[in-house]
Structure formats: C-alpha cells, structure tokens
Homo-oligomer: A and B are copies of this chain.
C-alpha cells in the first residue's frame, strides 16, 4: 500500500507531475455529508503558487473535478474520486535527468527501484504536485472534523536561521486558528513572518533555497483517540506527514527538546479544569501512549530546502558511469515550507479523521 493511507478512511493518491491528471480516491467517508466547494477552493488556494516572490510560477488551476462519490455535493457512501487535470503537461527538457539524477531529488532512488522505468518528467510520482490531491482529501476531512468541533491549523516557526513564535498551546482557541489561515505569510506574528519572507527572498536572490519548520495544532480532539503501539496517533500522523515530499523529521509536544529535560520538567501535571481533566502544561503534545489526552495535539515537521537550486552541482551520468556537472534550470520555489503549510493541515486532518472513525474499545 504505497499510495494508500488509512484504516477506515482509505485515501488513495494517484498521478504524476506530467501525467494527464492527478487525483485522489477517498473510501470510507461518512455518507450524507455536504461538502462546501467554496471552502475547499479557498483551502486549495493556500497551496497555490504565485502569491509572492517565494512561490513558483507554474500555472496550475488545481480545480478538482469530482467524478464519483457525491450526489450533488453530498457524500453518498461510495468512494469519492476527484481528479485535477495537468494543464502543463507539455514535454519539458526532463530527459537529461533520466541520465543525470538531480542531487537530493528522488530521481536516482526511483531509477534504482523501477529499473529506469519510472516517470522522470517533473519528478514523476515523487513530485510535490501530488500534494494537491492530498489537499483535496484533507480539505474535505477538515470540513468533517469541524462538524465534530475539531480544528486544525499549521504555521511556520522557522525559515533557515530565522525563528518565529510558537503558539502557547494552552491559549490556542478557535479564533486564533481562523486568523492564521487568512494570514499573508503563515507565521504567528507579522514581524517574524516578514523576517522569514526576507530570508526566503535572500536565498532566492542567490539562486539558492532554504528549509523551514512547520508547527501544527489540532484543538477539540477528544481523549481516547488513536490506538496503542503501531497505530498510535503519533504513528498515524507520521505515516501521512512523511508522505509530503521534503519532510525529514516529525516531533510531538516537546519532541527532541524533551531529550534535554528532566522528568520533573517534562511531566504534565493533571488538574481539573471546568469539570474536565486537563493537564497544566502540554509538553506531551496531546498524545500519551499513542492515545489522545484531550489536550490540543501539537507537532512540528522539518522541511528540507528545495533541492532544485539555480547553481551548478555535481552529479553522475548513469549510462557513462562518470561524474558530470549539472545545472537544473527552470523556476522553483526557493522554499517549500509556505506551500507545505496547508499540506500539513491536510495530512493531520486525514490521520485524525481516520483515527476517529476507528474508535475502538468501546462497548459495541
């Protein structure tokens, strides 16, 4: 199950960067749910290029066509399939990458796996373009979750050497989350957002790229979701998140920071709060033993710098078995993080909804 995620909710992605279309099938959505197309369009728009210097300029309409699973806008219990046509499917100058793999792209690994039969055009099935159908699926899940009182928001907390604010999870409420999704640059404060944007533009001006860290918060998740061991909430979230190209790390709550702490610092005391069991701090990121605690989920993902840079790099010719110099050319996002923000929300929504639908352990 390479391109399929989920237990009760099956999200199946297909397509390549330059195939006729890309798309997604979501099996297991509750029937009778009315999808809001405008809201989905707005969500999809957040991963669209062209909003500022930090975005690539490839023209993608990214308007999904729903070809099954709905009657009108209402889910009918059948698998929902949406496709997005690849308008920009003309043959680029990709053939040379078949022989000379781009550094830190999937070209060589895919070549080794598929013995050269892999689609090299635009990264083929390893392209970031496949996050568009991920966002279609995740955007629908977000709408379903909202009906359950669950909200998800991601934002950038680091670009290169610039760090921004991390939300104090105890203060995160619905209004804050709504604000975030409307922000011009998805950081928690405008000032550090501006500095992050400057760092991206600086890298771009040198033909270089830069990495970043995205933080994500989900509020309203009830206690008791997720299964111990291999199907814990952390495992499930990581399984989807590492499906976003360029993600190289995932941490929950204090994450790697917890390694530096003592138990007396990292433990979260329980307390009653308005009749409910809560923790005073949220170092655990809302997950204990793989199961949600009722506190907001908090996690961060590390996004590596875009591997496509406008500099000459060392590579090899696979046929001639010798080193060659390679200049990739073309236009590329100098930083993946901004467009990855809605993808992280989408991934989180998919994992959370699936876990919710898997609720187990209850009386029949």
In the complex, which residues 301-350 of chain A have their Cβ closer than 8 Å to any Cβ of chain B?
Answer: 302-309, 311, 313-316, 318, 321-323
What is the total number of copies of this protein in its complex?
Answer: 4
Asked if A212 is at the interface (CB within 8 A of a chain B CB), the reply is yes
Question: Across the interface, do A114 and B32 meet the contact criterion of CB distance under 8 Å?
Answer: yes
Question: Across the interface, do A1 and B230 meet the contact criterion of CB distance under 8 Å?
Answer: yes
In the complex, which residues 92-119 of chain A have their Cβ closer than 8 Å to any Cβ of chain B?
Answer: 101, 103-106, 108-110, 112-119
With A211-B266, A238-B242 as known contacts, state yes or no: A79 contacts B223, CB within 8 Å: no
Asked if A23 is at the interface (CB within 8 A of a chain B CB), the reply is yes
Interface size on A, residues (CB 8 A): 163
Question: Across the interface, do A280 and B147 meet the contact criterion of CB distance under 8 Å?
Answer: no
Residues of the B chain whose Cβ atoms lie less than 8 Å from the Cβ of A249? 249-252, 255-256, 258
Asked if A219 is at the interface (CB within 8 A of a chain B CB), the reply is no
Question: Across the interface, do A74 and B117 meet the contact criterion of CB distance under 8 Å?
Answer: yes
Interface centre among A71, A108, A230, A283 (most CB of B within 10 A): A230
Question: Across the interface, do A110 and B360 meet the contact criterion of CB distance under 8 Å?
Answer: no
Residues of the B chain whose Cβ atoms lie less than 8 Å from the Cβ of A108? 223, 270, 277, 288, 293
- Contacting residue for A114 out of B12, B76, B239, B314, CB 8 A: B76
A99 to nearest B CB, angstroms? Answer: 12
Residues of the B chain whose Cβ atoms lie less than 8 Å from the Cβ of A308? 263
Question: Across the interface, do A256 and B259 meet the contact criterion of CB distance under 8 Å?
Answer: no
With A20-B66, A32-B114 as known contacts, state yes or no: A13 contacts B309, CB within 8 Å: no
Interface centre among A16, A226, A323 (most CB of B within 10 A): A16
Residues of the B chain whose Cβ atoms lie less than 8 Å from the Cβ of A250? 238, 249-251
Scan A348-364; emit 1 where CB is below 8 A from any B CB, else 0: 00000000111011111
Question: Across the interface, do B160 and A262 meet the contact criterion of CB distance under 8 Å?
Answer: yes
Question: Across the interface, do A306 and B272 meet the contact criterion of CB distance under 8 Å?
Answer: no
Question: Across the interface, do A313 and B267 meet the contact criterion of CB distance under 8 Å?
Answer: yes
Question: Across the interface, do B263 and A31 meet the contact criterion of CB distance under 8 Å?
Answer: no
Scan A1-25; emit 1 where CB is below 8 A from any B CB, else 0: 1111101101011111001111101
In the complex, which residues 229-268 of chain A have their Cβ closer than 8 Å to any Cβ of chain B?
Answer: 229-232, 234-235, 238-240, 242-243, 245, 247-268
A102 to nearest B CB, angstroms? Answer: 9
